[in-house]
């Protein structure tokens, strides 16, 4: 009989096991407890922000130009809201002042007739006259809140020039040009709205004084 080494059925002692190689898609070796995971190709986010491989938060690669533009647009929107508020309240002052002034005219007409049922004393008449003047001035100031004042806006020729010359400019440069335009609109609206605000405040103050004068006249009559 032949030896087992010479036969073909026995194991070959010279055959060595080949080590199994890990592919790139296989799971990495387990890490120590508490260690930060290292981002791999499969878990790196596909956003425009840069990722800190040490486990830190993502940082933006852009500047603050978009934030500034959004801030200026918000300020312009607030000025538009202030303009609408001043104008609507001015209309309210005009309505109330006109109604009270018409009431005073009616009382004066009734008291000056030949056979009037009542007469207004002299001091009360002076108070009513003062109230009439104050109501008129209040209505005039309230009308000024609705005057079509000129607000600064980007000119058409400037916008055309900007589109012709800066169409292929960098985003940061375009945002800067828009920011300058928004700044001019904001400054103009803020200045004109301040005028409207002072007119409205004056109209309200005069209307309050007129109501006080009417109250004094009624007190004298009673």
Tell me the per-residue pLDDT of 80-133, one tens digit each, with 9 for 90 and over: 999 999 999 999 999 988 888 888 877 776 666 656 556 777 788 888 889 889
pLDDT digits (tens, 9 = 90+) for 27-59: 454 555 555 554 444 444 444 444 344 444 444
- Domain assignment present for residue 139? The answer is yes
Burial class (CB in 10 A: 0-12, 13-18, 19+), 183: middle
Distances (CA, A) of 47 to 42, 56, 107, 115, 187: 13, 15, 76, 90, 37
pLDDT above 90 covers a percentage of the chain that reads 29
Distances (CA, A) of 196 to 50, 84, 147, 188: 49, 10, 9, 13
Give the phi and the psi of residue 50 in degrees, each rounded to 5. -85, 140
- Domain assignment present for residue 212? The answer is yes
Do residues 181 and 163 touch, judged by C-beta distance below 8 A?
Answer: no
> What pLDDT sits at residue 188?
92
b/e map 20-40, b = 16+ CB within 10 Å: eeeeeeeeeeeeeeeeeeeee
**How many domains does the structure of the chain reveal?**
1
- Domain assignment present for residue 6? The answer is no
Burial class (CB in 10 A: 0-12, 13-18, 19+), 11: exposed
- Domain assignment present for residue 144? The answer is yes
- Domain assignment present for residue 145? The answer is yes
Give CA 163 to chain center in angstroms. Answer: 26
Out of 24-38, 45-59, 142-156, 182-196, pick the least confident: 45-59
- Domain assignment present for residue 194? The answer is yes
> What pLDDT sits at residue 106?
74
- Domain assignment present for residue 64? The answer is no
pTM here? 0.62
> What pLDDT sits at residue 111?
66
CA distance 171 to 111: 74
Domain carrying residue 153: 73-221
CA distance 198 to 73: 24
pLDDT above 70 covers a percentage of the chain that reads 67
> What pLDDT sits at residue 196?
94
> What pLDDT sits at residue 85?
93
Out of 79-88, 150-159, 181-190, pick the least confident: 150-159
Distances (CA, A) of 80 to 76, 107, 138, 185, 190: 6, 41, 24, 10, 9
> What pLDDT sits at residue 50?
42
């Amino acid at each position: 009989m032949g030896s087992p080494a010479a036969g073909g059925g026995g194991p070959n002692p010279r055959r060595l096991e080949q080590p199994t190689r890990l592919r790139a898609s296989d799971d990495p070796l387990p890490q120590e407890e508490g260690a930060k995971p290292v981002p791999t190709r499969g878990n790196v986010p596909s956003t425009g922000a840069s990722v800190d491989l040490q486990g830190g938060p993502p940082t933006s690669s852009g500047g603050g130009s978009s934030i500034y533009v959004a801030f200026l647009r918000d300020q312009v929107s607030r000025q538009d809201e202030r303009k609408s508020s001043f104008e609507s309240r001015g209309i309210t002052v005009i309505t109330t002042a006109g109604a009270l002034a018409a009431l005073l005219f009616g009382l004066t007409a009734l008291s000056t007739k030949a056979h009037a049922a009542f007469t207004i004393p002299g001091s009360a008449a002076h108070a009513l006259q003062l109230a009439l003047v104050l109501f008129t001035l209040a209505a005039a100031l309230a009308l000024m809140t609705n005057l079509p004042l000129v607000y600064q806006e980007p000119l058409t020729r400037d916008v055309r020039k900007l589109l012709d010359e800066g169409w292929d400019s960098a985003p940061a440069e375009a945002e800067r040009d828009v920011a300058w335009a928004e700044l001019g609109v904001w400054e103009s609206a803020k200045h004109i709205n301040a005028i409207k605000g002072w007119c409205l405040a004056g109209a309200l103050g005069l209307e309050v004084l007129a109501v006080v004068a009417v109250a004094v006249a009624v007190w004298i009559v009673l």
